């Protein structure tokens, strides 16, 4: 019983659009996987296997990668219903030679796949093969403020200044030491902080950075701090409680340097501290974009592509994007990056927010091999939404629907981030 022809047509047309992926965690010096352990070590798989009962023993760095892969694959028959498992099957089909006719992977396949991956990933042109099979044109990075931005092609790997550490860990001496090391400035008051941040922004924009980004807890309220407050906290209170004010300074620099500021709103870190690596964060649904009211009003010149962790905040995101010219809905993040949430959130946005403001998707990938299955999932849902909301009701022709989809997939990324 095949999916209907209209959805297939739309999906097929959309799959030809070259991708500019506006958010990932790719290391540009090691962008592709070296072994299946790089694929299955992705936190989605370790989380699900652990959640389904896998002990963490083999997740230790010193464990044998092949054993770890066997273990994660062994538990797949407990989580083979998930979207994440479907990404892996897509990877196995596209990159590891699993025949299209085989739609399952089970314990017995681990070694075969491990070997196939080793061989495949060792090809000298593997990186460019992945780019080609993915129709990937550019992909944004997530760079720490002191990351080196050289040694890679910034036309392909677009730097993006991630500011979580500066904002939320400025009370740690290590953060200030790193900031001094990269800028030459010892921060002891608002003025020196501003100077140091300017140097960071200068270096990033000179090296092709196209965005600034941060992830924020559900309780966060941005607020401007006056210089006296910075001084007092820095001199007498161990640099504590400066997050709101540092964030505000960074917004000022986004304005001055004309960088969009990606806000990723809603994550509580280390809710399950004994969870697997990167599988410890959850959230509190009780949060509101009203917390960003002052920010959005104070910076009309700054574009804020906003991601929300929960689908519950999607109506706020839709409404704030409908009203504020500088607020844009950005992709489908993490716990909202599964088909039911994408379908719901996309449908709500695409029927109410100006189409030129909709940034459809980003992969959030750690390795390039994940861009294809994640965008594949998104395109299938996008095709379905375009069919149901626009083509079937007679509002758009198939051609126009593909153009609308292309806008979400690519055009808006180019325009918003000026790439």
Nearest to 17 by CA among 338, 311, 298, 404: 404
Q: From 163-171, 175-183, 191-199, 392-400, give the range in contact with a copy of itself by CB under 8 A.
A: 392-400
Residue closer to a copy of itself, measured from CB, 11 or 147: 11
Residues 83 to 102 in contact with a copy of itself, rule: CB under 8 A: 83-84, 86
* 311 makes contact with a copy of itself (CB under 8 A): yes
* 120 makes contact with a copy of itself (CB under 8 A): no
* 271 makes contact with a copy of itself (CB under 8 A): yes
CB of 173 to a copy of itself, least distance (A): 29
For 197, the enclosing helix (H) or strand (E) is helix 190-206
In 3-state terms, what secondary structure has residue 396? Answer: coil
* 393 makes contact with a copy of itself (CB under 8 A): yes
Nearest to 168 by CA among 215, 135, 207, 134: 215
* 406 makes contact with a copy of itself (CB under 8 A): no
CB of 50 to a copy of itself, least distance (A): 6
Tokens of 414: 């180019």
**Partners of residue 262 on adjacent β-strands:** 213
* 283 makes contact with a copy of itself (CB under 8 A): yes
* 107 makes contact with a copy of itself (CB under 8 A): no
CB-side exposure of 39: number of CA atoms within 13 Å? 30
CB of 188 to a copy of itself, least distance (A): 36
Which residues does 159 contact at the CB level (< 8 Å), separation at least 6?
Answer: 140, 141, 143, 147, 149, 204, 207, 208, 209, 210
CB of 330 to a copy of itself, least distance (A): 15
* 297 makes contact with a copy of itself (CB under 8 A): yes
What is the Cα 330 distance to its own chain's centre? 10
47 within 8 A of 79, measured Cβ to Cβ: no
* 415 makes contact with a copy of itself (CB under 8 A): no
* 279 makes contact with a copy of itself (CB under 8 A): yes
C-alpha span between 132 and 338 (Å, rounded): 25
C-alpha span between 227 and 246 (Å, rounded): 11
CB of 92 to a copy of itself, least distance (A): 14
263 within 8 A of 307, measured Cβ to Cβ: yes
Q: From 185-193, 233-241, 256-264, 341-349, give the range in contact with a copy of itself by CB under 8 A.
A: 341-349
Residue closer to a copy of itself, measured from CB, 53 or 124: 53
* 390 makes contact with a copy of itself (CB under 8 A): yes
Residues 40 to 59 in contact with a copy of itself, rule: CB under 8 A: 47-48, 50-53
C-alpha span between 216 and 308 (Å, rounded): 10
Residue closer to a copy of itself, measured from CB, 152 or 322: 322
């Amino acid at each position: 019983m095949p999916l209907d022809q209209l959805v297939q047509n739309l999906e097929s047309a959309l799959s030809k659009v070259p991708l500019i992926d506006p958010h990932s965690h790719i290391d540009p010096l090691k962008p592709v996987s070296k072994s299946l352990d790089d694929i299955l070590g992705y936190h989605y798989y370790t989380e699900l296997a652990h959640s389904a009962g896998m002990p963490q023993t083999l997740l230790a760095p010193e464990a044998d990668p092949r054993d770890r892969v066997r273990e994660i694959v062994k538990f797949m028959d407990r989580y083979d219903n998930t979207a994440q498992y479907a990404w892996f099957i897509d990877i196995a089909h596209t990159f590891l030679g699993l025949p299209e006719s085989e739609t399952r992977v089970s314990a017995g396949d681990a070694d075969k796949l491990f070997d196939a991956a080793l061989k495949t990933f060792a090809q000298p042109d593997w990186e460019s093969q992945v780019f080609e099979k993915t129709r990937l044109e550019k992909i944004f990075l997530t760079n720490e403020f002191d990351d080196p931005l050289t040694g890679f092609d910034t036309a392909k790997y677009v730097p993006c200044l991630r500011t979580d550490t500066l904002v939320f860990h400025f009370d740690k001496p290590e953060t200030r030491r790193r900031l001094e090391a990269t800028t030459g400035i010892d921060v002891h008051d608002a003025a020196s902080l501003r100077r140091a941040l300017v140097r960071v922004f200068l270096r990033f924009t000179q090296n092709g950075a196209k965005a600034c980004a941060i992830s924020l807890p559900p309780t966060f309220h941005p607020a401007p701090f006056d210089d006296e407050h910075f001084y007092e906290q820095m001199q007498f209170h161990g640099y504590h409680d400066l997050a709101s004010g540092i964030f505000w300074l960074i917004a000022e620099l986004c304005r001055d340097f004309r960088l969009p500021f990606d806000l990723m709103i809603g994550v509580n870190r280390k809710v399950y501290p004994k969870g697997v690596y990167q599988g410890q964060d959850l959230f509190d649904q009780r949060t509101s974009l009203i917390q960003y009211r002052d920010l959005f009003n104070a910076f009309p010149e700054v574009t804020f592509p906003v991601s929300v962790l929960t689908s519950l905040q999607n109506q706020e995101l839709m409404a704030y994007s409908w009203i504020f010219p500088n607020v844009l809905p950005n992709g489908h993040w993490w716990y909202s990056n599964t088909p039911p949430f994408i379908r719901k959130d996309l449908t709500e946005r695409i029927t109410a927010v100006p189409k030129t403001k909709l940034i459809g998707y980003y992969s959030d990938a750690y390795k390039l091999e994940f861009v294809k299955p994640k965008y594949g999932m998104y395109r299938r849902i996008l095709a379905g939404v375009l069919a149901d909301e626009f083509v079937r009701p007679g509002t758009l022709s198939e051609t126009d629907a593909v153009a609308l989809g292309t806008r979400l997939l690519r055009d808006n990324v180019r325009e918003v981030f000026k790439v």
